[in-house]
Amino acid sequence: MSERYDVAIAGAGPAGAQCARDLADRGYEVIVLETETEEEFPARSNKSTGGTFASMMTSFGIPDDVVAHTTDSVVLESPNDFLIQNQPGFVLEFDAFKEFLVRDGRKKGAEYRFDARVREPIVRNGETVGVRYNGDEELCAEIVIDATGPAATLATALGLVDLERKNHAIGIEYQFEGVTLDRRGYADLTDAMMLRLDHEYAPGGYSWLFHTGADTAKVGVCFIQNERYREHASRDLTVDGYLEHWLETDPRFENADRLPETEIRGSAHVQSPGAISTAAFMAIGDTVPSVDPVWGEGVDNCMKSGRAAAMTADRCLTGPVDTSAREMAVYDDRWHERVASRQDRRLLMTKLLYLASNERYDQLMRDLNEADRDTLSAINDGNKREISKLFSLSDLPLLWKYWRET
């Protein structure tokens, strides 16, 4: 292998591109291998609604020109009730966002190689020393990072990641114009990001509407494919079928028209990450996976995981190089502390939500509307004491279902 780098990253998504930005800014020789051609990037990997908040924009220096629309609130809907929380947010032009990360990384010195499909890690004496791509092409690196998302190409080959099909969530989204955002009897969704818990439209998942300016909005549905989480389903439909059912029956869409070339399909795994590093290797972004299990927000966590990996690589490559499994495990600690803290509790909340009935969703909205902002924040952070206050004796069947599931 004649080509040698400090760090090789597979995948130019938010996690991989942010990791490359940070490493290049520290002066490391870093290369990113991306499957798509440069001409089409990121057409086939443009798989995110792009909803995020001010903390991400500020922490990672994201410019305003990649923002499609700023929002003022987050709305949670159940079949017959809703909760409105004032929370400024941003709906990104996701393709422009990804292009910015690549462009800025290159400006800092990162090398990008498009049309480069990573095939497998190169391992010698139990340590990853490089990657093989596009058939038999090879390159060497002190550290290799997998940012290939749910494909987990390198992490799977190394036996680190076990993404279980029963935890696989799929989703579809389109952008529409002519959406009635302030329909009587519903929450006003003007300048809002809305998530709806309703088995009628997303059994074992949720649907969403993100306002993108004027009368346009991104509208989508996602759910876990495991039949256990779809026992409340009243219809045997695909994810496309449920989205169509929502569009046909919700009066807010009666005058809406689908905008061309706005289809997004994506997937993620809702489960504990397991091992995420070994000697000279780290897995980041949705390879881990990093998506927030409760609300599906993935951009911020992916960016954080890229930064945590860059910080770990910097530590391991400073002074005497030490990429042993013990040293690389610093990334695991950073991930659990800074990327997805209390992940197990949030997974518990997710499973309980998806197993609950529509009637329980309505009760949840009533309970949350009676809570103060500090309590809501504590619940969202996974505070056991505050979460326990939401339960009553009538929830015993739900807790029994959760116990059987786990």
pLDDT band at 405 (very low <50, low <70, confident <90, very high): low
Residue 270 CB coordination number (10 Å): 25
Among 3, 329, 16, CA closest to 142: 3
* Whether residues 264 and 275 fall in one domain: no
pLDDT of residue 383 exceeding 90: no
**pLDDT recorded at residue 358:** 92
pLDDT of residue 60: 97
43 with 157, same domain?
Answer: yes
pLDDT for residue 68 is more than 70: yes
Asked if 235 and 308 sit in the same domain, the reply is no
Q: Please report the pLDDT score of residue 228 as a whole number.
A: 63
Same domain as 207, residue 159: no
- Sign of CA pseudo-dihedral 157, 163, 166, 170: negative
Give the Cα separation of 270 and 165 in Å (integer).
10
- DSSP tag of 218: E
pLDDT for position 229: 62
CATH number, residue 319: 3.50.50.60
Say yes or no to pLDDT of 303 above 80.
Answer: yes
Q: Which of 132-141, 186-195, 379-388 has the lowest mean pLDDT?
A: 379-388
Q: Choose the final residue of a domain: 268, 283, 302.
A: 268
Looking at the domain assignment, is residue 57 inside a domain? no
Residue 263: burial class (beta carbons within 10 Å; 0-12, 13-18, 19+):
middle
Q: With bands split at pLDDT 50, 70 and 90, how would you rate the model's confidence at 372? A: confident
Pick the more confident residue, 269 or 24. Answer: 24
Average pLDDT, the chain: 91
pLDDT band at residue 406, thresholds of 50, 70 and 90? low
Last residue of a domain, one of 268, 288, 309: 268
Q: Which residues pair with 5 in a beta bridge?
A: 141
pLDDT (0 to 100) of residue 6: 98
367 plus 224 within the same structural domain: no
Provide the number of structural domains found in the chain. 3
User: Which has the closest alpha carbon to 221: 298, 301, 302, 296?
Assistant: 296
Final residue belonging to a domain, choices 316, 339, 362: 339
Token couple for 72: 């003022």
Burial class (CB in 10 A: 0-12, 13-18, 19+), 125: exposed
If asked whether residues 155 and 262 sit together in one domain, one would say: no
> Dihedral of the CA atoms 133, 138, 139, 144 (nearest 10)?
50
Among residues 210, 383, 186, 375, the alpha carbon closest in space to that of 296 is found at: 210
Say if 75 falls within a structural domain.
no
Q: Which residue has the tokens 């028209």?
A: 257
Does the pLDDT value for residue 134 go beyond 70? yes
pLDDT tens digit string along 17-43?
999 999 999 999 999 999 999 999 987
Q: Averaged over 346-367, what is the pLDDT?
A: 86
3-state secondary structure of 129: strand
Does one domain contain both 28 and 110?
A: yes
Residues 192 and 278 in one domain: no
Residue 304, in any domain of the structure = yes
Same domain, 278 and 193: no
Residue 71 lies in a domain: no
> 141 lies in which domain range?
4-50+95-163+271-339
Q: Answer yes or no: is 180 within a domain.
A: yes
Q: Which amino acid is at 337?
A: E
Do 34 and 151 reside in the same domain of the chain? yes
Q: Is residue 206 part of a domain?
A: yes
Residue 85 lies in a domain: no
179 lies in the same domain as 299: no
With pLDDT > 70 as the criterion, what percentage of the chain qualifies? 97
pLDDT tens string 151-177: 899 999 999 987 777 788 889 999 999
354 vs 264, residue with greater confidence:
264
CA distance linking residue 50 with residue 144, whole number of Å:
27
CATH of the domain at 188: 3.30.9.10
N-term to C-term CA, the chain? 47
Q: Is residue 311 part of a domain?
A: yes
Q: Are residues 334 and 364 in the same domain?
A: no
